[in-house]
Structure 1
Amino acid sequence: MIPVHAFKGRRVAVFGLGRTGLATIRALLAGGAEVSAWDDSEASRASAEAQGFVLDDLNRRDWGDIAALVLSPGVPLTHPKPHRMVELAHAVGAPVIGDIELFALEIAAMPAKRRPKIIGITGTNGKSTTTALIGHILREAGRNVTVAGNIGDAVLAQDPPRPGSYFVLELSSYQIDLTQSLQCDIAILLNISPDHIDRHGDFSGYFAAKQRLFAMQGETGVAVIGVDDAETSDFYSRLRMQRPDAQLLPISAGRVVPHGVYALGNQVYEALGVAPQSVMQLDRARALPGRHNAQNIAAALATVRMLGIGARVAADAIAGFGGLAHRQEQVGEISGVRFINDSKATNAEAAMQALACYDPIYWIAGGRPKAGGLEVLKPFFPRIAKAYLIGEAEARFARELDGKLACERCGDLATATAAACRDALADGRPGAVVLLSPAAASFDQFANFEARGDAFRALVSGLDVPVADAETGA
């Protein structure tokens, strides 16, 4: 645990009693703060009390002594309207922050020589893979590394930083919205596409949240920017004008970029010196297929090279990376048909990455739909043998795919998995893949995308045909 001393002797409200909220309470109490904690969920409150936490109904108490509100990232901050707790905090002038801000305040209070290096990764897609990959490379190079943020356990639940250590943080727009003073030594923006519009109001609000990571960074930090999207390319150009003396590294998964890192064909190049140098072949990274992963590799390579890791050490570490659960994870094989768990693909842009990697595909899609629909996926329809639709998106996706793809409305994941397996085995097409890449959120039928992916893995293992030992994919 990382004790937080910034509010020693003062009272802090904590709203949201999930994993992050409970870690926040422990860290504040360890740093000498007084804490009033609450959650709208009766089940969450009961769980917290069972663990020994003393709660304080924030709806009923006087907020006059509240120095700050630490808000769970998932609670509405501005859209569709501020949560009641946010309004109460504003009424007494208390800042509304998150656990990443508490971490930032604690780091800022340390003597400079004791501070860890902080690497922050954001973007719409690829954050988790890039975060884990950077952490893996640094560990393989013998560095003391903590990977946290929007991946794994809460940042405040980690061991306190030691001199010479590294914190590699996946940062969502929700988390950045609640952060004011995180100064990353290296900040990374992978890509941008419309997402979480209900949270930010519109695309510009969503993109603005991502850009704040770099505004907090100041002139001294390194910025690694993906330039394959028009919006991020424009942001890179603007940042060069705003910070002419800063180190800005462009990355690309399809074109040459000067003074950066890029992938072309099967090669990854770095142009950080006098002339571009080939660093590795992409096909060495077997757990990272597809163009989207080429961008993740380029981002990770640019980052670790700026941290002094040798190119060969980095390339060998990338080749040995095993991938992440729920990101193109192979969970079984039956008679040559592979079963791929890509439950993390909660929007169409994320699903597009997996659809680009396989052919033919028996595609399981659906859940709670997001804005934008499936239009962006049309170029990949020829790869899809059939779609199996589930959840709240079932009717909407069926309308979008009508006349374009063979579809079966299955309702739930169990029915879809069995139907896709049946058809893939009956067709007997070489290279067939049953792909769970939902292009929708999980919350209609599952607690989160992890629970959805775990359910798919269990369903595959329970199919009536012997399943080969699973190998982890990307």
Structure 2
Amino acid sequence: MIPVTVFAGRKVAVFGLGGSGLVTAKALAAGGALVAAFDDNADSVANAAASGVTTLDLRSADLSEFAALVLAPGVPLTHPEPHWIVTKAKAAGVEIIGDIELFCRERRAVAPDATLIAITGTNGKSTTTALIAHLFVTAGRDVQLGGNIGTAILSLEPITSDRVYVVECSSFQIDLAPTIDPTVGILLNVTEDHLDRHGSMERYAAIKARLVDGAETAVVGVDDDWSASIAAEIDRRGKPLERISVRRPVVDGFYVDRTDILKAEDASAREVADLAGIGSLRGAHNAQNAAAAVAAASVLGVSDDVIQEGLSSFPGLAHRMEEVTRIGRVLFVNDSKATNADAAEKALASFDRIFWILGGKAKTGGIDSLAPYFGKIAKAYLIGAASEAFAATLEGKVPTVIAGTMDRAVALAADDAARDTEAEPVVLLSPACASFDQYRNFEKRGDHFRELVLARAGADAIEEVR
């Protein structure tokens, strides 16, 4: 845990007592703050109290007595309307911040030269964050990985100058971090998302921009108009900037040409790394993630040889185009994180002969936008509530079977792919749907797919021995 000493001896309110909220309350208390924690959920308050956190009903408290309100990122700050605790804190003149801001203030206080790499973007944050951490582990550094990727930032090891902190930041977290100041700040892309929380694309983009605005060196993807505009503004102010592109060469950054990642410098370009044959980084979206990670590592002095070693050994993230195994010529890929058509598109674009398992609780728009990829699909296996609607979309375009359940879909797809004559048939779970009709979350759905595939792989291996 990172003791937060910057509020030592002062009263701090903490609202929202999920995992990160509990850690925040304990980190503040460990640093000497006088913590009063609360949540709308009585069970969460009781759980916090049972774990040793001091709780207080903030509905009746005088917030003007507090130095700050530390808000969990899931609590509405501005839209669709401010939460009651936000309104109350603003009326009392109390600053409202989050755990990322606490980390940044503590870093400035105790080890300002500690390396902080912060990553944001609408898509690709988690893969890029994990890849950067992997590159620095490969380089032999003490790496602390956290933030939106799933580990609360204040639960990491205490801040020291020799540690590298690699932190994924959502827009919700950045909105609560007014002085975020990473050593390297990365903005991958900005596309429409979370408008119910931020109100407009302009506000959403401005929040994302804050992370790179405060960075010593900004790394910005320039393949969408919002991010390109943010990069231009950073450049106009004369701040250190590395542009990233997978679509075209850049003159001041890193770009991808086929499988090569090149660094543009002095009116020329040199190859830094090659993505050929790295299954965990297939597709243009992963090429962008890799280019951003390479840029961060290069800026901070990691050698090209170590970067290539790290890229080649990167295992990827579970449920994000995760290569589960091969059975004979057939590759099995778990892309359960693809909960809408836009996400599934990236997987469909990455393979040429696909036995596609899809379905669940459909999102608005269905899979109509994926029609350009239907020619790659050997057969589709539908599961869950969206089966009938998706079957209608695919009718006459893709051979389709309504499998109903994951068990049957995996069995049918594996049998069909094994009989296929192409060099590398792929059984792909990329559902283009939420999981909530059959599974608690996309992780459980992906875990089930993986279990079924590995059980089949084991059975096939036993049969070969016989």
Q: Is the 8 A contact 1:13 1:35 kept in 2?
A: yes
Counterpart-to-counterpart distance in 1, 2:194 and 2:395: 26
Matched, 1:106 2:106: yes
**Partner AA of 1:144 in structure 2:** D
Counterpart-to-counterpart distance in 2, 1:238 and 1:18: 37
Residues 49-448 of structure 1 mapped to structure 2, 5 A cutoff = 49-110=49-110, 112=112, 115-217=113-215, 221-241=216-236, 243=237, 245-273=238-266, 275-334=268-327, 336-367=329-360, 373-390=366-383, 401=394, 404-407=397-400, 413-414=406-407, 416-418=409-411, 420-421=413-414, 423-424=416-417, 430-442=423-435, 446-448=439-441
Q: Secondary structure at the match of 2:280?
A: coil
**Partner AA of 1:358 in structure 2:** F
Q: Is the 8 A contact 2:64 2:93 kept in 1?
A: no
Between stretches 348-357 and 367-376, larger displacement belongs to 367-376
User: What CA deviation, in whole Å up to 9, does each residue of 1:206-230 have, x standing for no partner?
Assistant: 322211212333xxx1111112223
TM-score (norm 1): 0.86
Counterpart-to-counterpart distance in 1, 2:137 and 2:13: 36
CA deviation after TM superposition for structure 1 residue 158, in Å: 0.7
Judging changes above 3 Å, is the alpha-carbon distance between structure 1 residues 379 and 185 closer, same or farther for their aligned structure 2 residues?
Answer: same
Judging changes above 3 Å, is the alpha-carbon distance between structure 1 residues 42 and 225 closer, same or farther for their aligned structure 2 residues?
Answer: same
Counterpart-to-counterpart distance in 2, 1:199 and 1:395: 32
Q: Is the 8 A contact 2:275 2:311 kept in 1?
A: no
User: What CA deviation, in whole Å up to 9, does each residue of 1:279-335 have, x standing for no partner?
Assistant: 232215342112222112211111111111222222222222222222211224445
Question: How many matched pairs?
Answer: 462
Counterpart-to-counterpart distance in 1, 2:176 and 2:389: 34
Match of 1:472 in 2: none
Judging changes above 3 Å, is the alpha-carbon distance between structure 1 residues 51 and 281 closer, same or farther for their aligned structure 2 residues?
Answer: same
Judging changes above 3 Å, is the alpha-carbon distance between structure 1 residues 34 and 146 closer, same or farther for their aligned structure 2 residues?
Answer: same
Q: Secondary structure at the match of 1:276?
A: strand
Match of 2:20 in 1: 20
CA deviation after TM superposition for structure 1 residue 125, in Å: 1.7
Counterpart-to-counterpart distance in 2, 1:210 and 1:51: 35
User: What CA deviation, in whole Å up to 9, does each residue of 1:97-132 have, x standing for no partner?
Assistant: 2110111111122364xx312111111222112112
CA deviation after TM superposition for structure 1 residue 82, in Å: 2.4
What percent identity do the matched residue pairs reach? 48
Q: Secondary structure at the match of 1:14?
A: strand
Counterpart-to-counterpart distance in 2, 1:89 and 1:364: 48
Judging changes above 3 Å, is the alpha-carbon distance between structure 1 residues 438 and 155 closer, same or farther for their aligned structure 2 residues?
Answer: same
Counterpart-to-counterpart distance in 1, 2:459 and 2:194: 40
**Partner AA of 1:227 in structure 2:** V
Between stretches 421-430 and 270-279, larger displacement belongs to 421-430
Of the two structures, which has the highest relative contact order with CA contacts closer than 8 Å and spacing of 6 or more?
A: 1
Q: Is the 8 A contact 1:197 1:371 kept in 2?
A: no
Q: Secondary structure at the match of 2:160?
A: coil
Judging changes above 3 Å, is the alpha-carbon distance between structure 1 residues 434 and 203 closer, same or farther for their aligned structure 2 residues?
Answer: farther
Q: Is the 8 A contact 1:126 1:293 kept in 2?
A: yes
CA-atom RMSD, angstroms?
3.0
Judging changes above 3 Å, is the alpha-carbon distance between structure 1 residues 255 and 131 closer, same or farther for their aligned structure 2 residues?
Answer: same
Gaps of 5+ in 1: 470-474
Q: Secondary structure at the match of 2:179?
A: coil
**Partner AA of 1:364 in structure 2:** I
Judging changes above 3 Å, is the alpha-carbon distance between structure 1 residues 372 and 164 closer, same or farther for their aligned structure 2 residues?
Answer: farther
Between stretches 258-267 and 84-93, larger displacement belongs to 84-93
Q: Is the 8 A contact 1:197 1:206 kept in 2?
A: yes
Judging changes above 3 Å, is the alpha-carbon distance between structure 1 residues 56 and 316 closer, same or farther for their aligned structure 2 residues?
Answer: same
Q: Secondary structure at the match of 1:303?
A: helix
Between stretches 23-32 and 366-375, larger displacement belongs to 366-375
Gaps of 5+ in 2: none
Q: Is the 8 A contact 2:247 2:256 kept in 1?
A: yes
Q: Is the 8 A contact 1:340 1:435 kept in 2?
A: yes
Counterpart-to-counterpart distance in 1, 2:168 and 2:382: 31
Counterpart-to-counterpart distance in 1, 2:76 and 2:438: 22
Q: Secondary structure at the match of 1:271?
A: strand
Q: Is the 8 A contact 1:334 1:465 kept in 2?
A: no
**Partner AA of 1:107 in structure 2:** R
Q: Is the 8 A contact 2:327 2:457 kept in 1?
A: no
